[in-house]
Amino acid sequence: MRSLRSTSPTSTCRSHRSRCGAASGRGGRNRLDTIRRDGARTAYRWRGKHDEAVPTAHKRLIAARHLVMLAAATGASNCTTRQGGLWAKEYAVTQERIRELTKSMLRKKLYVVLSKGGAAPEQIAEHLPRHLEYMIALEKKGVLFASGPLAAADGQMRGDGLTIVRAASAQAAREIAEADPFVVHGLRSFELREWTVMEGSLGIKVNLSDQSLELA
**Does residue 71 surpass a pLDDT of 90?**
no
Per-residue confidence band for 75, with pLDDT thresholds at 50, 70 and 90: low
Per-residue confidence band for 172, with pLDDT thresholds at 50, 70 and 90: very high
Residues 213, 194: Cα–Cα separation, whole Å: 30
| Mean pLDDT value across residues 4-8 | 44
When the candidates are 1.20.140.160, 3.40.640.10, 3.60.21.10, 3.30.70.1060, the CATH number that belongs to 108-215 is: 3.30.70.1060
**Does residue 130 surpass a pLDDT of 70?**
yes
Residues 109, 135: Cα–Cα separation, whole Å: 20
* pLDDT on residue 78: 57
> For the chain, how are helix, strand and coil distributed in percent, rounded to 5?
45, 30, 30
Give the end-to-end CA distance of the chain in Å, rounded to a whole number. 65
* pLDDT on residue 7: 45
Cβ–Cβ under 8 Å, residues 36 and 74: yes
**Tens digits of residue pLDDT in 178-196:** 999 999 999 999 999 999 9
**Does residue 41 surpass a pLDDT of 70?**
no
Among 21-30, 63-72, 85-94, 176-185, the range with the most confident prediction by mean pLDDT is: 176-185
**Tens digits of residue pLDDT in 83-110:** 677 888 899 999 999 999 999 999 999 9
Per-residue confidence band for 17, with pLDDT thresholds at 50, 70 and 90: very low
Q: Average pLDDT over the chain, rounded to whole? A: 77
Considering the chain, tell me which residue range(s) the CATH 3.30.70.1060 domain(s) occupy: 108-215
| Mean pLDDT value across residues 68-82 | 57
Cβ–Cβ under 8 Å, residues 150 and 201: no
